[in-house]
Amino acid sequence: MDIVIENLTKKYGAQKAVDNISMKVATGEILGFLGPNGAGKTTTMKMITNYIAPDEGKIFIGGKSVSENPQEIRRNIGYLSENNPLYHDMPLIDYLSFCAEIQGIEKSRIPGRVVEMIKTTGLNREKHKKIGELSKGYQQRVGLAQAIIHNPKVLILDEPTSGLDPNQIVEIRKLIRELGREKTVILSTHILPEVEATCDRIFIINKGRIVADGTADSLRKQAQGSEILRVKIEDGQPDQIYKALQSIKSVSMVEFADRNLNRFDIHCDSSDVKREIFRLCVDKHWVLTELTPFETKLEDIFRELTMN
Amino acid sequence: MKTIWLITKRELNSFFDSLTAYIMIVLFLGFSGFFTWISGSDIFLIGQANLRAFFSIAYWTLFFFIPALTMRLIAEEKKTGTIEQLLTKAVTDRQVILGKYLATIILIAIALAFTFPYLITVAKIGNLDAGGVLCGYLALLLMSAAYTSIGLFASSITNNQIVAFLTSLFIGLFFHIIFEIIAGGMTGMFGQIINSLSVTFHFESLSRGVVDSKDIVYFGSIIFLGLFLTEVSLAKRNAYS
């Protein structure tokens, strides 16, 4: 099932929490939803799950309007909301059975489904406890289990890895990737490496507006413009090397990174520059001891797009 | 219907798991038992084989206990955010409200059922007016149903349980005594209208053993209004819990 959002707007008082957002998520795609706190991620997700109604705009899941077919659509959505609220006084197994039954799973299939979920999310050792007795990481797994117990075609996960330790984060990411093979997944997060590790596409919003949409690589290219190389050249005068580097055609700027060690940062437009630097060094009998391309980090792109 | 029953079962389990149910039943039986059999204008003082003494005590104990039962129903779920997790599943707001409502009514009915031994005892002592007793229980149940719907509404407008409790008591107080007191100082048409708004008026007419459609309509209207307002207030949700 694909998700189509058209001109979504939600206001709280005079403030627009979500401002005219449109997007499409294809079936089987994992979309990473990024943005600083208060950007409107959670509000958008609440509107997709039809918990709150948008002021303007429409949401279609599998071609059907969310507001017109709420019950049908909800059976096809698995939702893990922010802060993972659970009934702490309920035993884990009872809770999962309750969730399965309420989502309309046949009674005879429920015990099997619950066991399967407990296995998938690695809760086997904790299965006889009450939810309130579980640690935060395990509670997060319960939250994930209740979201996928009815095998929904769409998964909406609001910060699924918050509060987990590094090992658990890796496991949950793996699980999400597996689920994402056949399901459409939207997940929101603050953790940027997580998006790169799990998502096919990144969607950045700021103050309710879309500021970027694309794969991690395409965002990098878009943000970068020029490539940066760090080189270290030995056996030559710094100023001489500086001038020679600057005379290379496609180099736009050369900076001293460390004058004493003959290290330079080269801003350039094409990838031919590496070859030319090499040739230059051969001609002048200099020794090239370092040549590192600098990748723009996703963090930098994020900061650039969402500051001010 | 199946979904409503699911919610009801979960709420009932929660009542019993959290000991709320046991405390409520024990306190209810303790209070009503004490004043029916041992102290005040008890059965032996009145010297009649009926449960009037019990009904007039239960009339007050239930008034205080019901807000304590209903205060957490929605307010707590709003505070912890579980209401969001619940309402994004395949349930409607109405099913959730009716499920929670039904669970509370069932718990009160269980508490009332535990007073069955009173009935047997009185029946052994003298000639019991069965119709009157039945009407008394009906009046208690209807009154409880009305206060439960008020309590549920109070619980839906806040995420603070204490606020829910006090709001529900405050609204209940009007029906329980204030209307009666106001009507007492008035005469004529207006006084009658105010008096007919009072729960006491309808409760007494019912527990006297007369089932009048006016009383049923009165309690039915409060129940409907309470549940309707609960649904309205639940639909007005904010993205931030």
User: How far apart (Å, rounded) are the C-alpha atoms in residues B13 and B8?
Assistant: 9
User: What DSSP line would sit under A101-157, residue for residue?
Assistant: HHTT--GGGHHHHHHHHHHHTT-GGGTTSBGGGS-HHHHHHHHHHHHHTT--SEEEE
Q: Nearest Cβ partner of B3 from A10, A46, A102?
A: A102
Q: A33 and A172 in one domain?
A: yes
What does the mean pLDDT of chain B come to?
89
Contact B142, B206 (CB under 8 A): yes
Residue at A302 is within a domain: no
Question: Cβ B84–A85 below 8 Å, yes or no?
Answer: yes
Q: Look at chain B and report how many structural domains it folds into.
A: 1
Tell me the three state secondary structure of residue A293: strand
- Other beta carbons within 10 Å of A81: 23
Tell me the three state secondary structure of residue A251: strand
Mean per-residue pLDDT, A258-265? 81
Q: A206 and A259 in one domain?
A: no
Whether A135 and chain B come into contact, CB under 8 Å, resolves to: no
* Enclosing domain of residue A269: 225-296
Q: A246 and A209 in one domain?
A: no
Give residues 17 to 76 of A whose Cβ lies within 8 Å of B.
17, 42-43, 46, 49-52, 70-71, 74-75
**CB-CB neighbors (< 8 A) of B4 in chain A:** none
Q: Which of A206, A221, A236 is the last residue of a domain?
A: A221
Residue at A308 is within a domain: no
User: Looking at residue A270, what is its pLDDT?
Assistant: 67
Q: A123 and A240 in one domain?
A: no
User: How far apart (Å, rounded) are the C-alpha atoms in residues A245 and A233?
Assistant: 11
Mean per-residue pLDDT, B78-96? 91
Q: A240 and A112 in one domain?
A: no
User: Looking at residue B153, what is its pLDDT?
Assistant: 96
User: What DSSP line would sit under A57-83, residue for residue?
Assistant: EEEEETTEETTTSHHHHHHTEEEE-TT
User: Looking at residue B77, what is its pLDDT?
Assistant: 92
The gap between the terminal CA atoms of chain B, to the nearest Å, is: 28
pLDDT tens by residue, A171-201:
888 888 888 888 999 999 877 778 888 888 8
Residue at A304 is within a domain: no
pLDDT tens by residue, A102-160:
998 899 999 999 999 999 888 888 888 999 999 888 898 899 999 999 999 999 999 88
Tell me the three state secondary structure of residue A180: coil
Residue at A306 is within a domain: no
Tell me the three state secondary structure of residue B75: helix
pLDDT tens by residue, B16-33:
988 889 999 999 999 888
Instruction: Give the residue from chain B lying closest to A87, CA to CA.
Output: B82
User: How far apart (Å, rounded) are the C-alpha atoms in residues A291 and A282?
Assistant: 14
Q: Nearest Cβ partner of A102 from B81, B89, B239?
A: B89
Q: A139 and A258 in one domain?
A: no
This model's pTM is above 0.90: no
Question: Cβ B85–A42 below 8 Å, yes or no?
Answer: no
The gap between the terminal CA atoms of chain A, to the nearest Å, is: 36
Question: Cβ A102–B90 below 8 Å, yes or no?
Answer: yes
Spell out which chain B residues touch chain A, with contact meaning CB-CB distance below 8 angstroms. 3, 6-7, 10, 13-14, 17-18, 80-82, 84-85, 87-92, 237-239
CA distances from A4 to A18, A177, A188, A202, B96 (A): 16, 21, 17, 16, 29
Whether A98 and chain B come into contact, CB under 8 Å, resolves to: yes
Residue at A130 is within a domain: yes
Query: What are residue A205's DSSP bridge partners?
Result: A210
